[in-house]
Amino acid sequence: MSTDELTLAIDAAAELIAGAKHVVALVGAGISAESGIPTFRGPDGLWTKHGEPDLRDYERFAADPKGWWEKRISGAGGLGELIAALEAAEPNAGHIALREMEEGGWLAHIITQNIDNLHQRAGSVHITEIHGNRTKLRCIACGNRWPLDEFPIDELPPHCPDCSGIVKGDTVMFGEPIPKDALDSCVDQTWKCDLMLLIGTSAVVYPAAQFPLDVRRLGGKLIEINPHETPLSGLAEVVVRAGSGEALSRIVARLREIRPR
């Protein structure tokens, strides 16, 4: 995309956002790449470099929750590179622009597949986390959540103070069902939305991949913000081929010109 084409795409995206009633952002790992957190897919993705992970995580947790917790506490296993990056990460211009869009009344809700807590740290308020949040724990029976540092762990596995269910990290594992409250909220937002922004997601992971298709089916529009092509590119009204930091900050700047706060 040339400089002129990019400017035209940014203007077109801002016009669509300014004219929409209920805008929802569907966000993937790409937005946090500029915070130093590697994505899984794509040229520099962890899976591209190290191979696909074992998809039986949740099965193994369910068979031996105590063993899973012992491993977690000892720091063994897992993607060390990803964990180190998550711990060092700060919100970037893309996260901040989404918070500014919400404050300006241009963005109603964020559906994120990320677990990194960076939307919250940037100050966004209306957020649904499909894959959980790495700074929380969750009861697998009743779904209650607690911040990690507020939950005393005096037995392994820990049990829920409300229902005695087993407590695990809130991050959704491979093979684990998406928590019902999160899924319900995504469906609700998909139905309400007349414009969905697809930001830094390759849109191949279900259920997230389904929401943009539903938005289209219900008569809504899509804008894609991603430096690379995805399976949804052809369905988008406007495609902004740039990193999310630059693209979103420029869209916010344009929105302020079109409709000042």
Q: Give Cβ neighbours of residue 82 (< 8 Å, ≥ 6 apart).
A: 37, 38, 46
170 in contact with ligand NAD (CB under 6 A): no
Give the length of the chain.
Answer: 261
Cβ proximity to Zn ion, 104 vs 165, nearer residue: 165
Residue with smaller CB distance to Zn ion, 141 or 209: 141
Q: Looking at residues 42 to 71 of the shown chain, list those that interact with ligand NAD (rule: CB under 6 A).
A: 42, 45
Residue keyed to tokens 């986390």: 129
88 contacts: CB under 8 Å, gap ≥ 6 = 36
Binding mask 94-123 for ligand NAD (x = CB under 6 A): -------------------xxxx-------
Residue 57: CB minimum distance to Zn ion, A: 21
Q: Which one of residues 13, 17, 40, 221 is an interface residue with ligand NAD (CB under 6 A)?
A: 40
Contact 131, 113 (CB under 8 A): yes
Contact 224, 232 (CB under 8 A): yes
Select from ligand NAD, Zn ion, none the partner in contact with residue 116, using the beta carbon and a kind-dependent cut-off of 5 to 8 Å: ligand NAD
Residues ≥6 apart with Cβ < 8 Å to 145: 133, 136, 137, 138, 139, 170
The entry of Zn ion, ligand NAD, none near residue 163 (CB within 5 to 8 angstroms by kind) is Zn ion
Cβ-based nearer residue to ligand NAD, 160 or 197: 197
Catalytic residues: 131
